[in-house]
Structure 1
Amino acid sequence: MITEEDIPVIAVDGPSGSGKGTVCRLLARELGWNLLDSGAMYRLVGLAARNHGVRLDNHAALDVLAGHLDVQFRPGEDTAEARVILEGEDVSQLLRTEEVGALASEVAAVPAVRASLLRRQRAFKIRPGLVADGRDMGTVVFPEAQFKVFLTASADERARRRYKQLKDKGEAVSLPRLVADIEARDRRDTERSVAPLRAAPDAVTVDTTGMGIQEVFELLMAEVKERGML
């Protein structure tokens, strides 16, 4: 009989722009496992707060929003992507904006919100396995994960990646502003009192500066095979 403890988990943590989101989608698709994008949950709470006029210093109201999110994740046309429906509206593209990302970083520092979302995140651990993408997957949410990864890259590299993404979408953006925003988000994520961004002691750390996404994916898949997780 397969118990919950037998369900394999790959926990991938790292700062914004390190490539973990794309790599996690590729891993989940290759393995046929479930995918948890924990960052999307915090972005959804931040977006819901903005939509309902809830101040980010109103922790009680944020806790209520986190506990009652009306959200659905649906397959997109691209199997590596997913559509996110919040209160009946497709917010998939809106979730990836810099504004919502900044809201998510602030919301994630609220202990009550983290506690409300923790149970939802752990519920993603179902057969045949889970690839979890976030900032505290290996340290807090899935400390029992069989394979923990910490992806990182320089702030300049991560800003250049984001700059290219936004330019490809036709958005006007300033590279120096992106660098400043990423550095500010890094400080918030690493200095918060609850579940700060850090590598788990037993995580494999990969600096993706100068690496292509396929190269990172193949490196991690080789480790998955080496650990006998297939």
Structure 2
Amino acid sequence: MPKIVIAIDGYSSCGKSTTAKQVAARLGYAYIDTGAMYRSVSLFFSQHHVALTNPKAILDALQQIHITFNHNARTGRNETCLNGLNVEEEIRKMYISNIVSEVSAIPEVRYAMVAQQQKMGRKRGVVMDGRDIGTQVFPDAELKIFMTADPTIRAQRRQIELLERGEMLGLDAILENLLKRDYIDSNRSEGPLRKAHDAIELDTSFMTLDEQVDWVIQLADEKIASLHRKGHFNPQDA
């Protein structure tokens, strides 16, 4: 059967990553968390005191950053590794959330990460979520989803995630952070957050995770079946 690229874009805390992981698992595809890549860059910049206004320091730092993804068989979770070190828990903390949109808006950072992402998905058979996957990273993706949700509901979901990690923050502070990130992500010059013209919108405000995953899987199955009927096969499937 032909393999496709599934691009899932949208706002923070809409369920993109969790949905993408489960869709990839059910299809037997690779999952690439582009948000974790930008968070890892943000962590490296924070740890090494890289000035976001210094292009040379940024380029030098990017040369030292190597990001990989591992599947932990014991926990069943995907883990993000920065230069060989598991940083999955650290990059999800609020201090990283407070800087990641600013870091990811830097053109040099986006060029470096987009190149890595395109290389990862070159052979198809991937589910990739982020902000500009369907518009810039893989404009030729066979299936594009744009996820959105009510901002207050998104903030409530984020609050629950933080509590599960031992961080206690008020709903107003989380909502303010999300809205700030929305503005930066949507207004940056390089790879802004926007819905691709051929993306299908999914409002997850009142959907369960299972409903979200089933919805995307149905669309993927229909797209794969359509390509199969037309005789579109990937070279690696031959």
Q: How high is the TM-score relative to the length of structure 2?
A: 0.89
Question: CA–CA distance in 2 between the matches of 1:72 and 1:139?
Answer: 23
Select which of 14, 17, 31 maps to 1:35: 31
Question: CA–CA distance in 2 between the matches of 1:126 and 1:112?
Answer: 21
Structure 1 residue 106 corresponds to structure 2 residue 111: no
Q: For residue 142 of structure 2, what is the amino acid of its counterpart?
A: Q
Evaluate the alpha carbon distance shift between residue 218 and residue 37 of structure 1 in structure 2; reply closer, same or farther with a 3 A threshold: same
- Residues 12 and 149, structure 1, Cα contact 8 Å, conserved in 2: yes
Question: CA–CA distance in 2 between the matches of 1:221 and 1:87?
Answer: 33
CA displacement 1:82-129 (0-9 Å, x = unmatched): 222223432110111121122221111111111112211111115460
CA displacement 1:21-67 (0-9 Å, x = unmatched): 00000011111111111111111111101111111222332233224
2:224 partner SS: coil
CA displacement 1:139-190 (0-9 Å, x = unmatched): 0000000000000111101100011112233322111110111011100001
Structure 1 residue 168 corresponds to structure 2 residue 164: yes
1:35 partner SS: strand
| Corresponding position of 1:89 | 85
Question: CA–CA distance in 2 between the matches of 1:101 and 1:82?
Answer: 19
Select which of 162, 173, 178 maps to 1:182: 178
Q: For residue 75 of structure 2, what is the amino acid of its counterpart?
A: D
Q: Which moved more, 1:113-122 or 1:182-191?
A: 113-122
Select which of 197, 200, 216 maps to 1:201: 197
- Residues 46 and 104, structure 1, Cα contact 8 Å, conserved in 2: yes
| Corresponding position of 1:149 | 145
Runs of at least 4 residues of structure 1 off by over 3 A?
Answer: none
- Residues 148 and 205, structure 2, Cα contact 8 Å, conserved in 1: yes
Gaps in structure 2 of 5+ consecutive residues: 229-238
% of aligned pairs identical?
35
Could you tell me how far 1:224 is from its partner in structure 2? 1.1
Select which of 158, 161, 166 maps to 2:154: 158
Question: CA–CA distance in 2 between the matches of 1:52 and 1:185?
Answer: 23
| Corresponding position of 2:232 | none
| Corresponding position of 2:113 | 117
Question: CA–CA distance in 2 between the matches of 1:220 and 1:92?
Answer: 25
Select which of 218, 221, 225 maps to 1:222: 218
Question: CA–CA distance in 2 between the matches of 1:18 and 1:62?
Answer: 30
> How many equivalent pairs are there?
225
Question: CA–CA distance in 1 between the matches of 2:92 and 2:167?
Answer: 13
- Residues 134 and 141, structure 2, Cα contact 8 Å, conserved in 1: yes
2:141 partner SS: coil
Q: For residue 186 of structure 1, what is the amino acid of its counterpart?
A: D
Select which of 54, 58, 61 maps to 1:62: 58
| Corresponding position of 1:23 | 19
- Residues 50 and 61, structure 2, Cα contact 8 Å, conserved in 1: no
- Residues 67 and 117, structure 1, Cα contact 8 Å, conserved in 2: no
Q: Which moved more, 1:196-205 or 1:166-175?
A: 166-175
Evaluate the alpha carbon distance shift between residue 88 and residue 33 of structure 1 in structure 2; reply closer, same or farther with a 3 A threshold: closer
Q: For residue 143 of structure 2, what is the amino acid of its counterpart?
A: F
1:100 partner SS: helix
Evaluate the alpha carbon distance shift between residue 128 and residue 191 of structure 1 in structure 2; reply closer, same or farther with a 3 A threshold: closer
Q: Which moved more, 1:177-186 or 1:117-126?
A: 117-126
CA RMSD of aligned residues (A): 1.8
| Corresponding position of 1:78 | 75
Q: How high is the TM-score relative to the length of structure 1?
A: 0.91
Question: CA–CA distance in 2 between the matches of 1:45 and 1:170?
Answer: 23
1:143 partner SS: coil
